[in-house]
Amino acid sequence: MTDACLDIHGVAFAYPDGHQALFGIDLHVAQGERVAVLGPNGAGKTTFILHLNGILGAHTGSGQCEGTVAVTGLPVTRENLREIRRRVGIVFQDPDDQLFMPTVREDVAFGPANLGIVGAELAERVDEALLAVGMLDFADRPPHHLSYGQRRRVAVATVLAMRPDVLVLDEPSSNLDPASRRELADVLRALDITLVMVTHDLPYALELCERSVVLSAGVIVADGATRDVLSDGVLMSAHRLELPFGFDPNAVPA
């Protein structure tokens, strides 16, 4: 296919204890697409996204793995890991897993500095990333002085500073109050980037991703327009997905 951003073919993975988490995942994500990965707890969603930038895979020796992953044509292999991790940035569920420097500015600079970027270019990347998430005015603040929602936006900025091709988010709206949830949605909607988002927040998936895949028991059981997926009551019930009380995806404007 043209404009391929992510190509996943036959990815299967079993942890060292023998637990089989993925069973032959095939997925193609085009450049600029926004895809939500939905599914019940234990479906293999986090295991799946950790294959996208090589945290898990055959090269790690962390389990039994089959299949291939390529990012904008580059295979995810040991020799390509440095570039793969620039191309695919993962924002983890807990922002405190990614923020560890004395100031916001230093946290956002950490990744590109490790690529050898210095001076004016490094400063430009930091300012660009913080501006994109609405946190430039907080650049010299200690991260632990920020609210949880602000820390999550800074965590997104640490990834954006790498100028990735793909932004991967693990439960981005979890533990956010309504205002912070909306602010993050505004940030993500404005980004011109391929996005893969794991979430239990089904209205958030509808708001931000035109396409959704449902991962259940280690296999993809549905792949389609988010509105269609969320409107399929039989599919939703079979895979323990529930919309909030009174929420009708067909009543939400396109």
pLDDT in tens, 216-244: 999 999 999 999 999 999 999 999 999 99
Contact predicate 216/39, CB 8 Å: yes
What is the pLDDT at residue 197? 97
| pLDDT of 2 above 50 | no
The pTM score is: 0.94
Name the percent of the chain lying above pLDDT 90: 93
| pLDDT of 78 above 60 | yes
Name the percent of the chain lying above pLDDT 70: 99
Count the domains in the chain. Answer: 1
What is the pLDDT at residue 1? 41
| pLDDT of 58 above 80 | no
Buried b / exposed e over 101-130, threshold 16 CB at 10 Å, is: eeebbbbbbbbbeebebeeeebeebbeebb
CATH of the domain at 175: 3.40.50.300
Asked which of 52-61, 84-93, 142-151, 172-181 is least confident by mean pLDDT, the reply is: 52-61
What is the pLDDT at residue 253? 87
Q: Please give the residue range of the domain that contains residue 201.
A: 4-251
